[in-house]
């Protein structure tokens, strides 16, 4: 059995018109798997933590989950988004406070 030299970093993509896959985006890696086999596979997190994140059915069923990230990176991203969204409302907040 050949072992992979690295942990794959999966991104969701398409093969042809409708065949959905997760492919590894790392340099010189041509590995990919069909969506039906992605359940339980480990991917490198797309955040900055360097950890692995497991692809689960929920993730796979959500078409918008193109780049798997772990829960803690998700939380960081959510906070960043909240912060960005809060900027236009600064005036409002100022009134409330
Ligand atoms: Zn790979
Ligand atoms: Zn992460």
Q: Tell me how far the alpha carbon of residue 20 lies from the centroid of ligand 2, in angstroms.
A: 24
Q: Is residue 52 part of a domain?
A: yes
Q: Tell me whether residue 93 is in a domain.
A: no
The per-residue pLDDT string of the chain (97 residues; one tens digit each, 9 = 90 and over) reads 566 589 999 999 999 988 999 999 999 999 999 999 999 999 999 999 999 999 999 888 887 789 999 999 999 999 999 999 988 766 655 665 5
Question: What is the number of structural domains in the chain?
Answer: 1
37 inside domain: yes
77 in a structural domain? no
Q: Of 65, 42, 69, 44, whose CA–CA distance to 55 is shortest?
A: 42
Residue 62 lies in a domain: yes
Give the tokens for residue 37: 């086999």
The answer to whether residue 75 is domain-embedded is no
Gap from CA of 53 to ligand 2 centroid (Å)? 7
State the residue range of the domain holding 47: 10-69
Q: Is residue 21 in some structural domain?
A: yes
CA of 17 to the centre of ligand 1 (A): 23
The angle formed by the CA atoms of residues 5, 9 and 15, to the nearest 5 degrees, is 110
Does residue 48 fall inside a structural domain? yes
- Token digits of residue 70: 């772990």
Percentages (nearest 5) of helix, strand, coil residues in the chain: 35, 20, 45
């Amino acid at each position: 059995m050949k072992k992979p030299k690295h942990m794959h970093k999966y991104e969701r993509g398409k093969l042809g018109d409708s065949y959905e896959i997760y492919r590894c985006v790392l340099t010189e890696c041509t590995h990919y798997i069909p969506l039906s086999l992605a359940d339980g596979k480990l991917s490198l997190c797309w955040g900055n933590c360097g950890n692995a994140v497991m692809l689960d059915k929920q993730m796979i069923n959500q078409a918008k989950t193109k780049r798997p990230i772990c829960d803690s990176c998700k939380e960081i991203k959510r906070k960043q988004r909240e912060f960005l969204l809060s900027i236009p409302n600064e005036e409002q907040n100022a009134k409330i406070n």
